[in-house]
Amino acid sequence: MPDTLGFDRTALPPQFCNLDRLWHAMEARGLDGIIATQPYNVFYSSGFNPIAHKADEPRPYAVLLSRHAPDHPILVVADYYLASFLGQPSWVEDIRPYRAVMMPLDLPAKRSDIDRFIPDAGKGVAWVDRARESYGFGMRDLLKKAVADLGLDAGRVAFDDVGFGLRLGLDGVEVVDGYDPLMFARSVKTETEMRLLERSTRLNEAAILKTVGSWQEGATWRDLNRAYAMAVTELGGFVHDPGGMVWGHPRGADAALMLQTGLETHEVTRGTHVMFDCHGTIDQYCWDGGKTWVVGGEPEGGARKFANATAEVAADLLDAMRPGAKVSELQARARSIYRKAGVPDPDSAVIFFHGLGLSHMDLEQTTADGRPNGDWTIEAGMVVPFHLLYPGGEHERMWLEEVVAIGPDGSRPMFSWGFQPLTG
């Protein structure tokens, strides 16, 4: 059983993104700079994890990175967020606040308005003093000045939100899509990111085991979802509306693949095969996965063969997931193991892979030379969950998702509980 302690959040290192890989991606794509405004990319590039902001609201922040001035990142941010950097330091030392929505429209704007947002702990701090001097009255004007200061006002600049870049109306700037270079960088984790993903996976494992332990006769799927969310919260993590458990569970002999809606209310009866595929975050880094739980019992009949076959496939994949392996090759190899294990319909097995980090993708969709990246290649430093589902009815289906850290010479599982289903 994993340790249920050690999930307290503390300040992260000032810089934990894979900058070398980002600079490489920019050079390969002929980019002079990147401007990130999407929340995860802002966090990735600066460590800034703002509270209260929703993804579809106007962006109150932007990080500017220039390939030609790699030691001079700039962060433009709403004034009310300035003090956040006293608690979570950033390698970005040029922070430029602007007068934002909290300030009144019925009073004239003053440069001293920023003082409302500087606590005593920030007085006399060098970067705060510089931020105070750079205070502006609008995000757009500050962004244009920052672009010029970095020499990007006549460059090829990628935006992770192209629409935002176009709306800025930067004369002389070629606006291009920044999704893929950022995802290229995010796909290979730094040591700090690897530790964060190990912690998030341990939290998920602990929460699943607490959920299993909470089950009582008569419990419904809604009860199970609630128990999982409560376990996550007690451990210090976060799940997202409408819930943390992903798979739906058709009843009887129905073998359809379904996702949960959060509205399921039927009973989780003894002998049901619950497929724990759980999502959530801590410090914005995702967890994923889980395994099958046989409620109150053990796999019976053909389900025992399906469980053993799935465990065999998982062990073989763990050995095969090395740098240079392609996803299609891994899928074919896994299916061949199911076939050798003698399951009735190996072609029905669902076998898939994705990157994991700040999202459940963290992979570029198009390479620097313009090729689609559907059949992607595993690299050292990636975190790649593998998903194995042998479909069947509620007493047969078998599911296993392991989160795998890819090393230079092999891979290792992040879950501690092995490949057989949970029982009892």
Beta carbons of 261 and 248 less than 8 angstroms apart = yes
Predicted confidence band of residue 2 (pLDDT cuts 50, 70, 90): very low
Tokens 């800025």 correspond to 168
- Average per-residue pLDDT for the chain: 96
For residue 291, what pLDDT is reported?
98
Distance (Å, whole) CA 189 – CA 192? 8
Summarised one tens digit per residue, pLDDT across range 170-214 is: 999 999 999 999 999 999 999 999 999 999 999 999 999 999 999
For residue 3, what pLDDT is reported?
46
- pLDDT value at 4 more than 90: no
Residue type for 376, please? W
Q: Specify the DSSP class assigned to residue 230.
A: H
pTM of the model: 0.96
Residues 6+ apart with CB under 8 A from 197: 189, 285, 286, 287, 356, 357, 383, 403, 405, 414
Mean pLDDT on 340-351: 97
- pLDDT value at 130 more than 70: yes
- pLDDT value at 1 more than 70: no
Predicted confidence band of residue 32 (pLDDT cuts 50, 70, 90): very high
Predicted confidence band of residue 54 (pLDDT cuts 50, 70, 90): confident
Domains and CATH numbers, the chain: 19-186 (3.40.350.10), 190-423 (3.90.230.10)
Is 362 exposed, middle or buried, given 0-12, 13-18 or 19+ CB atoms closer than 10 A?
buried
Task: Name the residue among 236, 196, 234 with its Cα closest to residue 213.
Answer: 234
Summarised one tens digit per residue, pLDDT across range 136-165 is: 999 999 999 999 999 999 999 999 999 999
Summarised one tens digit per residue, pLDDT across range 350-408 is: 999 999 999 999 999 999 999 999 999 999 999 999 999 999 999 999 999 999 999 99
Tokens 């993903």 correspond to 197
Distance (Å, whole) CA 85 – CA 87? 5
Token pair, residue 261, equals 């809606």
Summarised one tens digit per residue, pLDDT across range 226-276 is: 999 999 999 999 999 999 999 999 999 999 999 999 999 999 999 999 999
Predicted confidence band of residue 5 (pLDDT cuts 50, 70, 90): low
Mean pLDDT on 26-45: 98
